[in-house]
Amino acid sequence: MFHLTIAEAHRGLKEKKFSAVDLANAYLNRIGKIDEKLNSYVTVTNEVALQQAKEADAKGTFDNPLSGIPMTLKDIICTAGIRTTACSKILENFVPPYNAHVYDRLRAAGAVLLGKSNTDQFAMGSSTETSCFGVTKNPWDTSRVAGGSSGGPAASVAADLAAFSIGTDTGGSIRQPASFCSCVGLKVTYGRVPRQGVIAYASSHDSIGPFGKTVEDVALVLNAIAGKSERDSTTPDVAVPDYTQSLKKDLKGMTIGIPKEYFDEGVEKETRDAILKGIEVMRKLGANVVEVSLPLTKYAIPTYYLIVKSEASTNMARYDGIKYGLTAKDAKELEEIYVKTRSEGFGDEVKRAIMIGTYTLSAGYIDAFYLKAAKIRALMKREYEEAFQKCDALVAPTSPFTAFKIGERMEDPLAMYAADTLTVPAGTVGLPGLTLPAGFDSKGLPIGMQIMGGQFQEEKILHVGYAYEQATEWHKQKPKL
């Protein structure tokens, strides 16, 4: 049962082939057996899952495609009464008093919560190694990382430990782990899905999106979570279409752009070849293919990291040892409480963000660093707008390389940041990007294809992804666990 896609499981539930409780139990049993190999969950919500599944069965209609479907949420998404830790010691025992709006929307659709997934601490990282609960392992090779920061969601979906998951993507945190683990992941346009109740990393970049086994599943989840929210003023009133209506098997009339800077020397040859082969598949499906150039891509990493670390340093200020979570035990004076709590509670990558961001925002440096990066960001936005006048979607690798070994990049923050070269631009310019399975390298590790689109053009990239997926078999391969 745990192999089924959302669409297949929905049919099974509707035709009463099995109940929502059967489905939840199938996943819970598998989590019990397999997850110790992967560490994709930080909290398994057995009782909540069975209760919610019972409710779906009691209702019995299964009208909504997500009704009775088991999911996980990245552990930065607030769940009332269920601890939400950001995988940081500073929030290790934090139990939110309310739900994130995205969770309320999923519950309204009838989805069932299996548990909370591992992530890099406060979503800062590219490997899930900064989690205070330990690394999530890659289901294809457990000596390697699952990617990050949403390593838990990606590994749980790829290993059939959840039917779908919800993660966040600031500069790649959905796309890169989905690519490393071989599942589908969607970063939406900034503002497409409400962020209320999701622990912030960089507020002008953060976006929430689904992980699924297929493009269709991702479209089904997006239907449930997209749209204006009275709880998040950054969600504009842009109509939410039925995203499954855009899924067509041919690409006639579509123009695909190849951004040449995304294929340069830094990209492993096997990855590059797999994506170029994928573009040939799209050509056969009727797409017109053009080359485009985005010269500012070379500034993407410094631009992104200067801005997000600045925003992060501000967002992290609220963890003061008083309002939420950890309070250092033996501190007496106010300042001592701040210093001790934050020193004990935050991990190294979060401290690095606070130090970089405080520096780049300080008088005397703000013009040289933060404001300069903000200007490049504006120019990058213009560059992408121009590119999308020439094509409907950009197709490129998701990551320059496949999953790396656990520990390989942890000692060198710059090497870790470089892992995001191809995913940070969409974060910086606020545009949507889909990743889906596009092959395996000679080590047997998954390769992901990234499809980027213009603002609120999720339909187009889902269409391109679906057509490619239906013409290939990569998404049917499963890791042996």
Q: Which residues bind ligand GLN (CB under 6 A)?
A: 123-126, 149, 169-173, 201, 308, 420
Closest to 87 in 3D by CA, of 403, 321, 346, 410: 346
Nearest residue to ligand GLN, scored by beta-carbon proximity = 173
Are the C-beta atoms of 10 and 164 separated by less than 8 Å? no
CB-nearer residue toward ligand GLN: 62 or 346: 346
CB-nearer residue toward ligand GLN: 149 or 165: 149
Minimum CB–partner distance for residue 481 and ligand GLN (Å) = 26
CB-nearer residue toward ligand GLN: 57 or 420: 420
Q: Is 293 annotated in the active site?
A: no
Burial (Cβ within 10 Å: 0-12, 13-18, ≥19) of residue 151: buried
Minimum CB–partner distance for residue 155 and ligand GLN (Å) = 16
Active-site choice (173, 182, 229, 246)? 173
Minimum CB–partner distance for residue 290 and ligand GLN (Å) = 29
Interatomic CA distance for residues 364 and 358, integer angstroms: 12
Minimum CB–partner distance for residue 322 and ligand GLN (Å) = 26
Q: Is 399 annotated in the active site?
A: no
Interatomic CA distance for residues 458 and 433, integer angstroms: 8
Q: How far apart are the first and last CA of the chain?
A: 16
Minimum CB–partner distance for residue 61 and ligand GLN (Å) = 37
Active-site choice (88, 126, 127, 149)? 149
Are the C-beta atoms of 312 and 354 separated by less than 8 Å? yes
Interatomic CA distance for residues 306 and 404, integer angstroms: 25
CA 185 to chain CA centroid, Å, is 6
CB-nearer residue toward ligand GLN: 349 or 469: 349
Minimum CB–partner distance for residue 6 and ligand GLN (Å) = 24
Active-site choice (74, 89, 187, 340)? 74
Peptide bond into 131 cis (omega under 30): no
Interatomic CA distance for residues 127 and 409, integer angstroms: 9
CB-nearer residue toward ligand GLN: 422 or 445: 422
Are the C-beta atoms of 187 and 32 separated by less than 8 Å? no
- DSSP character at residue 395: E
Q: What is the DSSP annotation of 146-190? A: --SSSHHHHHHHHTTS-SEEEEEESSSTTHHHHHHHT-EEEEPPT
In degrees rounded to 5, what are phi and psi of residue 92? Answer: -55, -35
Q: Is 149 annotated in the active site?
A: yes
Burial (Cβ within 10 Å: 0-12, 13-18, ≥19) of residue 443: exposed
CB-nearer residue toward ligand GLN: 35 or 169: 169
Active site residues: 74, 149, 173
